[in-house]
Amino acid sequence: MPAATRALALRPDGTRRALMLLTALALLVLGALHARADEKVIRIGYQKYGTLVLLKGKGLLEQRLKPLGYRVTWAEFPSGPPLMEALNAGAVDLGSAGEAPPIFGQAASPDLLYVAHEPAAPKGEAILVAKDSPIKTVADLRGKKIALNKGSNVHYFLVRALERAGVPYDAVTLNFLAPADGAAAFARGAVDAWVIWDPYLASGERSTGGRILVDGTDLVPNRQFYLSTRAFTAANGPALDATLAAIGEIDAWAKDNTDAVATELAPSVGIPAPILTVALRRLTYGVTPLNAETIADQQNVADTFHRLGLLPKPLDVASAVRKTGS
């Protein structure tokens, strides 16, 4: 018989203490498992630029949601379209995107829900051409190669710009590229124009000397939307409201602290603070529920993409908007 076993046999209270210790450990493990099962999670999808990345950096959301029994996880996305795909797939619970991605997201899933938006920021997206390009107007883009992110807010912006200039959509060659690839193609002259949003727009201006052909002014609002799902919103309304309130707090701070925001964002975005400052001055702040004007503008986006054959069926944007108080 091993010495340890003999010792326990000689000391009945040793066995009792061992059993008590094992029982206590088992109860602790079961308690931890029970707490984890009861703990709720909100999964946030964010892009490198904007209010959500600031919210993540400051840890404010975790503070606001802890009393409600929630923890927060974060997932980074390169642009709005893949973020909407993740939302529809149930991989995230809340995210933000520009005007076009939610339209395609709604077409893919009836569960998608608009829950809030930021004010219009039309100067935050533009068509960029080389500084010595012979292209002087949007009409000059006829027959040219244009880089853009498919299904993003700049996709709709380009459609509107071409329509205003009388250039058919199929009269240009579209190179669908993510922002990093679009920047590289534009820098080496592989495309004639690049349709892009901030902060990549500000970075492209600085790094290549690119010239803004036209921005979104009088063409598109360029709003940012916060989106969730019907299922998550119905089950987690108070947590969602607390999250939107935290976004509002960050907005209020960022509006009056542009230089501080630029300094804070620079490491995560990979763009120097002075360039980010240019982009941030074109940004708007103030998260609010969608109003009739905003819904109508989004409906125009949906109708435009359906008319071009980019959507399989018409959409009713209003039916995908969270009702106030729900």
Locate the domains of the chain by residue range: 3-37, 39-121+222-268+285-320, 122-215
The closest of 216, 219, 229 to 105, measured between CA atoms, is 229
pLDDT tens digits for range 66-118:
999 999 999 999 888 999 999 999 999 999 999 999 999 999 999 999 999 99
3-state secondary structure at position 59? coil
Backbone angles phi, psi at 59, to 5 degrees: 70, 15
**Per the structure block, which two tokens stand in for 134?**
């012979």
Please state the rounded mean pLDDT for residues 174-192.
Answer: 96
**Each residue of 284-319: b (16+ CB within 10 Å) or e?**
bbebebbeeebbebbbbbbebbbeeebbeeebebee
Query: Residue 18 above 70 pLDDT?
Result: no
Q: What is the SS3 assignment for 316?
A: coil
Could you tell me which CATH number the domain at 39-121+222-268+285-320 has? 3.40.190.10
Please indicate whether the domains covering 39-121+222-268+285-320 and 122-215 agree at the CATH topology level: yes
At 129-139, the pLDDT tens digits run 999 999 999 99
Using DSSP's 3-state secondary structure scheme, residue 83 falls into helix
What is the edge-to-edge ordering of all strands in the sheet holding 211-215? 173-176, 145-148, 193-197, 125-129, 211-215
Residue with tokens 């819904």: 295
CATH annotation of 122-215: 3.40.190.10
Which residues 6+ apart lie within 8 Å of 62 measured at CB? 71, 72
| pLDDT (0 to 100) of residue 78 | 87
pTM here is 0.82
* CA diameter of the chain: 98
Residue 247: CB atoms within 10 Å: 25
* pLDDT in the model for residue 77: 92
- Average pLDDT in the 279-289 region? 91
Q: Report d(CA 235, CA 2) in Å as an integer.
A: 57
Collapsing DSSP states into helix, strand and coil, what is residue 25? helix
Backbone angles phi, psi at 209, to 5 degrees: 75, 15
Per this entry, what is the length of the chain? 326
Task: Give the tens place of pLDDT for each residue, 257-270.
Answer: 999 999 988 887 88
Q: Which pLDDT does position 25 carry in this prediction?
A: 36
Residue type at 26 in one-letter notation? A
* pLDDT for res 325: 61
The pLDDT score that the predictor gives to residue 57 is: 87
> Which residue is associated with the tokens 């509006």?
255
Percent of the chain with pLDDT over 90: 75
DSSP H or E segment with residue 181: helix 179-187
